[in-house]
Amino acid sequence: MTKFIKGMDLSTLLELDRCGAKYYDHGKERDILDIMKDYDVDTIRLRLWNDPKSELGEPYGAGSNDLAETIAIGKKVTDAGFGVLLNFHYSDFWADPGKQIKPKAWADYGVEELERAVYDYTLDSLTKVIDAGVNVTMIQVGNELSNGLLWPEGQVPAYDNIAKFVSAGIRACRKVNADIPIMIHLDNGGNNELYVRWFENYIKRGEDFEYIGLSYYPFWHGSLDALEFNMNDIAKRFNKDLIIAEVSMGFTMEDYKDYEKLDDSQRKGYATKPSLVEKIDYPMTIEGQADFTKDFLGRVANVADDHGKGFFWWEPAWIPVPGSGWATPASLKYMNDPGPCGNEWANQALFDYDGNVLPALEVIKDFKK
């Protein structure tokens, strides 16, 4: 039986280091990767953006994960003994259900040109990542594809085009190394209708793949019962292994303004708005985060027919340090987003605002499938 993956998305690793983030385990300062290793984490997920900077060279922020940055993090985590889930966004910045913006270099491409561009870009990037010595153990072709990718050509309900683009990425991955498993990833892990509709449409049209990836954020994506129902249904329906590609849960609703050192006008504030948090299964406290984690892990590990294969906590080390936020003025312009910038994730990390390990990480360490 394959090992139950305990993964972390550490895409901002080098940016946080440059900004002076420090981490502590039982009061002792330690390297973040040493901490992760000791807490039984085995795989690091890394996003890859095509060109996360403006035409003037201004970085988009949030790790600015271009090929060079992602390779640098990949080599660092490989040297520390981790596998790597390489996450292709096929955009110059965040790709999610609310935006799948074509890379600037592909802005005028039609369907056939986009299909070729996905293939060529994936082939070139993956070859360079592996040639650099990064231990790629899984590949994600697209990010949160619930509403498609490379809009408008690949926007739902254009499933023919979606399948063309995703399949081009898969074929390129197979060309580089056919043994690395492929994940296709949607958001909203509690939404069974979404997963049934999307994968029924894709599987009729597209290349085969190994894993269905789900995002599950309890304040956005429904109850743990809804997640459990969906996982069991799609595992049996499609006979696919499942991985929660993104999960997090808050440990506090206390503000971290004093840590960010930004004016209110420059701060996005946390994603976990109080009105969302009222409805979730566990309170956003240190104990609530740990209890949620234990419950969540048990449900993933017990998916029907042993199809629950692991999880990735999203940006567990993104503590509030000055200089590291979800966007910059340049990327706000790229996304046509009103902003502001700042860190909106710090209260969902697996470290407190001062960088101390939280009990939820102990739960992960102790969990056995």
Residues designated as active site: 144, 246
Task: Give the torsion through C-alpha atoms of 44, 315, 312, 22, to 10 deg.
Answer: 60
User: Are 50 and 90 in contact, with CB atoms under 8 Å apart?
Assistant: yes
Looking at the DSSP assignment, which residues form a beta bridge with residue 216?
Answer: 247
> Taking Cα atoms as reference points, which of 10, 127, 149, 160 lies closest to residue 80?
10
For residue 318, give the DSSP letter: -
- What is the C-alpha to C-alpha distance for residues 154 and 205, in angstroms, rounded to an integer? 14
- What is the C-alpha to C-alpha distance for residues 210 and 203, in angstroms, rounded to an integer? 12
- What is the C-alpha to C-alpha distance for residues 271 and 348, in angstroms, rounded to an integer? 9
On the 0-12 / 13-18 / 19+ scale of CB atoms within 10 A, 128 is middle
User: Are 214 and 308 in contact, with CB atoms under 8 Å apart?
Assistant: no
Helices (H) and strands (E) in the chain, counts: 12, 10
Q: Which residues of 89-101 are buried (b: 16+ CB within 10 A; e: fewer)?
A: bbbbbbbbbebbb
User: Are 66 and 51 in contact, with CB atoms under 8 Å apart?
Assistant: yes
User: Are 104 and 90 in contact, with CB atoms under 8 Å apart?
Assistant: no
> Taking Cα atoms as reference points, which of 133, 28, 47 lies closest to residue 92?
47
Phi, psi (rounded to 5 degrees) for 29: -65, 130
User: Are 298 and 224 in contact, with CB atoms under 8 Å apart?
Assistant: no
